[in-house]
Each structure stands twice: as structure tokens, then as C-alpha cells.
Amino acid sequence: MLFQQFKVEGLGCLSYLIGCPQDGRAIVVDPKRDIEDYLQAAQINKLKITAIIETHVHADHISGAPELSHQTGAPIYIGAGSPISYAHHPLNDGDEMVVGNAKLKVVATPGHTPHSISLAITDLARGDLVEMLLTGDLLFVGSIGRPDLAGGELLEEQIRNAFHSLKVKLGQFEDYVEVYPAHGAGSLCGAGISAKPSSTLGFERRTNPFMQLDFADFRKLLSQNTPHRPVNFTHIIETNKQQAQLTENLPVISEYNPVTCRKFIDSDPDNNLIIDLREATAFGGAHIPGSFNIGMAPNSATWIGNVVKPESTLLLLANNHEDIENAVTMFRRVGYDNIKGFIVGLSGWILAAEETGFLPQITVHSLHHVLEKYSNHRVLDVRNEAEWLSGHIETAEHLPLPELIKETFAGDPEEHISVICMSGYRSNIAASMLKQRGFKNVYSVIGGMSTWKAAGYKLA
């Protein structure tokens, strides 16, 4: 049996190829939207992809199942009752699929979604014991899948489903069975997910806090540990129900010059946005006014999903074509298909005598001096709760970036505000957002709280 895991860095998505080289067939589980990795793996191992399985309707990324089916002719399988409108084969509890020495048995495990499934895998060349479980978004390494994505009216039922699936449905398997989830660290489908890509049922039963509780405490812990819901989740769910556009049908992305860029901005300023992919200091020095700074990083797709409405029309700005190409792939994974074009570098915009924005980058030493001299200087800390509790600037206000995105930040547009996070990445996103909202004197703290702590400055 051949077993291969694929990981999307930053987004935390995990997918799998299971096959039998002797038989020549393979199954792909929970594919990402860009499918080249699966096609290449199948080609290298002389396998034909003959089936595609989705453990559930995904909320955090666009499924690659339709694309992979289109490219290979393989049918799509998903848990019976899943609310999808495209051609598929339903999988019921106990159904089996066999490709050579690899046997996959369906285990209905609702909880993350009402129709979620897990897959019990046996290598028939080694015996008839279940060797591993693909747990989808039910059980993660160190955590479990959030139960709220199906809607508030189903939340209580989903919490009960998750508890039953973890205790009873997975209870039939031995401690030695390996656990391979659909997500790892970086995913917002669960809180506190480990960076380790796999585990065993026995280890999770002994260390995973959700696996050790009675129902009352399970329900309480789950309600306290649900991550925020990004603005693009609903769009992703609806897209996956209807079927995402095939890559060949997506709009061609063209290069814009200063004239066409200006027309783009002016034609619909509320919905036409520029995403500046450059690093924080470059954006701070000069940028196109009104643009968002989401620097190129493994988690860029997560942050665009938090900041930008998925129906927005986008232009991407970067210093090179490689960053543009990578960003297009990353953003399409999370539902941002309406990317009109790109701009390489800012020099053309500047030479065309267009106005540029400025976001001052302040060091922790300068901020420390400012706070000693000006008692009315505001510091906005946009880290999460755990980061805030690990130590913060005494006079700082705490407003996590996801909350800042949703809420109106009150204040005088003329007052001076320094925004800080852990490293300077999120603070630039937050500061560019405040600038867009009309705050004129906003600063982003270079190096963030990690540098403040390294400098030995006082913490509250």
C-alpha cells in the first residue's frame, strides 16, 4: 500500500493519496484546489487516480475535487446527505472501497459537519487490522474540529454528535491506530491544533483535552475554544456546495499600468481593492493609497480571508512575478477568484506622479521614548488573547485583529496611534486598515512585542 500526505503550509490543510502500486490505482482524499501534486505523485508511482473522497464540505478552503475529477475522470465520493449539487456518489457508514492492498472503510463521524465521515484504512498485505484513520475535521492532533459551521440552530446537536463520534464511533478502534487529520496547525477549523502532522488514538486519548471529559465539561471547553469565523468561510462553503470554477474557466490575469490602475481604483472604490504583497517596511515607505498590506507569507491566505470580502475585485502588487503567481494560487485556494490583474513594483506609479501613502514604521525604542514623553499616545495591541496575557505594554489597549476587522475603532482621526502585534506582520494589516478608515497618524511597530521583550522593556 502506498500512503502519502500533502500539506498546505500556513493554511494547515492536509490531504492524502492512498494507492497500490501492484494494482495501479489510487484514491485522493480531501484534495486542495491546485492539484498538480496529486497528478505528479500518481505519475511517479505509475498510478491512476480512480476515486476522490471528501470527508466533508470544507469551510476553510476551496475543494480540488471537481478540478481533479475533471482532469482524471475519477468520480467524487462524499458522506451521504451532504448538501452538494454536483455529480457525486454518497458514502454510508460501513461502505468499503478497495484498491489492491488498500482497503478504506467509511465511518460516519458527524460533529464538525452533520455529514462528516472518517476513513479506516487497512493494508491487506499486512493483515486485516485497521492501521490508520483519516479523521477529517473530527479529530485533530491536540484538538478537534469546531462544531459551529453548520449554523447556530444546529450547534447543540453538532456538539452532541462530536462527543458521540469521538467516544463511540472512534471508540471501536485500538490505541495503536494512527490518526491522520484533514488539518494541522494554522487552520481555523479548530483551536490549538498541534503542528505535528499525525498522532495515534492512544496518544490523543491520553493528551487531547477534548478526549478526556464528560459531556458537560466537553461542551463547556468546546464553547470556550472556538476560533473566530473569517469573512470568507460562508463563501467557501457555498462554493463547495455548488462546485468551484475550473481553473481553465477562471479569468485571465493581466498586468496593469498606472493609467489602468487608476481607472480600476476610481471605477468602484468600495469593491475594487489593491493587495500589496510587499514586506512591511517597503509598504510603510510608500504604497498606493487605500491598499491593504498582506505581505507574502505562508499564512497570507488566512489573513486575506479575515480582512477582505470574497466578492471584492482585486489587483495584486508585488516586487516580482513569482510572488504574484504564488499569491494567485494561495488566494484562489480560499475563494478569491476575482483577481483582475497585477502590478510589479511601485516605480511606475511613482514616476507617473501619482500620490503615494505612507505608514511610518516605529521601532520599540522609539515607541518607548514616545510613551515616556506623551501620555496620550495610544497603543493598540492586535494580538490574540493568549499572546496578550503572556505580557503586554502597560498602557496598551487590546483589540485582536479579527475583532478590529469587525468592529468600528473609536477615536479622533487626528490622534497618534501605534499598532503592535508579535512580529510586525499583523500590525501592518491593522494599521493599513485604520489608515483606510480615515485615521491619519498611525504607526506600525517594527518587530512587535517579541522585540519589545528582547529589549527588556517593562511588561504588564
pLDDT tens digits for 351-378?
999 999 999 999 999 999 999 999 899 9
Q: How confident is the model at residue 7 (pLDDT cuts 50, 70, 90)?
A: very high
Is 28 a residue whose pLDDT tops 80?
yes
Q: What pLDDT is stored for residue 19 in this prediction?
A: 96
At position 61, the amino acid (one-letter code) is: H
Residues of the chain with CATH 3.40.250.10: 250-351, 361-454
pLDDT of residue 227: 74
Distance, in Å, from the CA atom of 130 to the CA atom of 457, rounded to the nearest integer, reads 54
pLDDT of 290 above 90: no
Residue 249 and residue 327: Cα distance in Å, rounded?
Answer: 18
Q: Is the pLDDT of residue 152 over 80?
A: no
Weakest-pLDDT range from 4-18, 185-199, 219-233:
219-233
Domain 250-351 top-level CATH class = alpha beta
Active-site annotation, residues? 421
pLDDT in tens, 316-357: 999 999 999 999 999 999 999 999 999 999 999 999 999 999
Measured CA to CA, the distance from residue 276 to residue 279 in angstroms comes to: 9
Residue 448: predicted pLDDT: 96
Cell digits for 133? 484513520
Task: Decide: 351 and 325 in contact? Cβ < 8 Å.
Answer: no
Mean pLDDT of the chain: 93
- Answer whether residue 405 shows pLDDT above 90: no
Sign (positive/negative) of CA torsion 234, 235, 236, 242? Answer: positive
Cβ(407)–Cβ(400) under 8 Å?
no
What's the CA gap between 399 and 382, in Å, rounded?
5
The residue assigned the cell 485556494 is 333
Is the pLDDT assigned to residue 114 strictly greater than 80?
yes
What is each CA distance from 425 to 81, 127, 176, 390, 435, in whole angstroms? 41, 50, 41, 19, 16
Q: Which of 118, 152, 121, 149 is nearest to 19 (CA)?
A: 121
Please provide the CATH number assigned to the domain covering 361-454: 3.40.250.10
Q: How confident is the model at residue 230 (pLDDT cuts 50, 70, 90)?
A: confident
Q: Rounded to whole angstroms, how far apart are CA atoms 17 and 29?
A: 6
Is residue 407 scored above 80 in pLDDT? no
- Structure confidence at residue 187 as a pLDDT band (50, 70, 90): confident
**2-235 CATH pick, 1.10.3720.10, 3.40.50.2000, 3.40.50.300, 3.60.15.10:** 3.60.15.10
Strand duo 132-136 + 139-140: pairing: unpaired
Which pLDDT value is given to residue 179? 98
- Where residue 436 falls among pLDDT bands split at 50, 70, 90? confident
Name the H helices within 31-81.
36-44, 65-72
Question: Residue 403: which pLDDT band, with cuts at 50, 70 and 90?
Answer: confident
Q: What is the pLDDT of residue 148?
A: 84
First vs last Cα of the chain: how many Å apart? 55
By residue count, the chain amounts to: 460
Q: What is the pLDDT of residues 244-262, one digit of tens each?
A: 999 999 988 999 999 999 9
Residue type, 258: P
- DSSP alpha helices (H): ranges in 126-232? 155-164, 201-207, 215-224
In angstroms, the CA 96 to CA 106 distance is 6
How many angstroms separate the CA atoms of 385 and 282, rounded?
29
CA dihedral of residues 276, 278, 280, 284 (deg, nearest 10): -60
- If one counts every other C-beta atom within 10 angstroms of the C-beta of residue 124, the result is 13
State the DSSP code for 460. -
Decide if pLDDT at 4 tops 90.
yes
Q: CA-to-CA distance for 342 and 256, rounded, in angstroms?
A: 6
Please, what's the largest Cα pairwise distance for the chain? 74
Residue 294's pLDDT band, with cuts at 50, 70 and 90, is very high
Q: What is the pLDDT of residue 222?
A: 84
Q: Which three cell numbers stand for residue 272?
A: 475594487
- Distance, in Å, from the CA atom of 133 to the CA atom of 201, rounded to the nearest integer, reads 9
**Which residues in the chain are classed under CATH 3.60.15.10?**
2-235
Spatial separation of the C-alpha atoms in residues 169 and 359, rounded to whole Å: 53
